[in-house]
Structure 1
Amino acid sequence: MDEVSQSIYVTGCNYLGFQLDTFNIPSKSVFLVKVRYDGTIDWVKWASSAYQGTGTARIFPGDLHLQDQTSIQWFFSSRDSILFNNQSFAPAAYLMGLQADGNLISMVPVMQGVDAIEFSSSEMEHLFVAESWNDTIFLGDTTFVSIASNNAIYCKFDTAFQLIWSKVVGETGLAIPANGTLDLDGSSYCTGMFMNSILIGNDTFQTLNPSIPDLFLC
C-alpha cells in the first residue's frame, strides 16, 4: 500500500486467463495491478509464459517493494521463457523496476534455476530469497553453484547487481525458504522451514522429528 498516492499494489499468478476490469490477463502469467483506494484500476502489467508443453508452466510472483513514488520493484521468476511487453525473456528470476505510471525502468535477471520467493532492498544492497528447482544455480552473469534441487537460496547483491555473497541452505534435506531481511547495519536475517536435516555452511542440523518440519533462522 502507498498512502501518499492512495494506491494498492497487488501481485499474483494465474493458470487460466481472466479479465480484470477492462484488462485481459493471459493464462500462465504473473501480474501486477495498481488499484486506487476508490477501486479504480490504474494499470495492469503481466509476464506470460511461452511454455507450450503438456505440463503446467511454473511462474512464481515474488515480493513487491515501493522505494518512492516513482520506483516500484517487482521480483518474480519463471521456469520457462516468458513474454513481457511483446519481448521474450529467458527463464530466470527477475527484478523489475517500474515507474508509478507502469512504465518499465529496468528488468534485471538475478538468478537462474530458482523460484522467486521474496526480496529486501536498501539504498546499498538487495537481498534475494529463492528456492532452487535445478541442479545448477546461476547468480548473475558469471557465478554459479552446483547443488541439488529444493534448497533455500539467499543472495546479497549491491545496487549494481554485483554478487556480495550467496548462502545455500539444504543439500542434505528439504529446505523451504520464507523470507529475508536487511538490517540497518547491513546484517541479513534469513528464515525458512526444513525437513529431516539441512546443511548451513559447514554445520548440519537435524529436525526433532523426521516427519515434522522445523523452522530455521540464520
Structure 2
Amino acid sequence: MPRNARRPPAVPAAAPRGAGQVRIIGGRWRGTKLAVPDRPGLRPSSDRVRETLFNWLMPALPGARVLDLFAGTGVLGLEALSRGAAHASLVERDPGLAAALRGAVDRLSAPAEVHAADALAWLARRHEAFDLVFLDPPFADGLWSRALDALASRLAPGAWVYLESPADMQPAVPPAWTLHREGRTREVRYALYRAPGHHAAVTLRPDDPPATTE
C-alpha cells in the first residue's frame, strides 16, 4: 500500500439482531457500553433516570453492599460499583443475560457476583444484608409485592431501596419505609425509599422539588 494511502475504516462488528446498548454514565467506568439483547420485558432504566437516581444516592454509595435483584443488563449494579460501591450481587434468571453479565463483570474486573437464578428463590436462601437494593422487575410479571416481602429480612439498617414501576402504579411498600425521592417519565415511576434504622442526613435537601423526566 502506498505510504500516503489511507486505510479503509474498520467495520464494527454487527450487533445481534434486536440488540441495543446501554452505557454506564458515571464513575471509573464512565462510557462503558453494555449490550441490551432482545428479550421480553428487558427494559433498562434510561440515562436520564439513572443520572437522577445516582445524584440522589451519591453520598450513600462509597462502601455499599449492593443487590441488583432483577439485573437484566446489570447497568444499575455496575453503575453503583463504578461510583464507589464495594460489592454487588447481580441476580438474573435468563441464562443468556446471566452469561452476558459475567462477561461484563470479567471485562471490568468488577467486585461483583452474578447469580443465574430466580430472584425470589435466591433471596429465600440468602442470609447477608444489603445497604442498597435495585428492584426493577419485568413489569408484566407483577412481582413487586412478593419481592418486597422477600426483601424485608435482607436489608441492613437504613438500607436504600430503589423501586421502578409503570408510571400509573405505586407498589405498596412496608409502612416503616420512608419515601426519600420520586420521579416519573411517560413510561415509569421511579422512587427511592429508605428502611428504618438510619441516623445519617438525607442525600437531598427536603425542599428540593420532585423530579420529573420527560
> Structure 2 length normalisation: TM-score?
0.32
Higher relative contact order (CA 8 A, sep 6+): 2
- Identify, as 1 or 2, the structure richer in helix: 2
- Identify, as 1 or 2, the structure richer in strand: 1
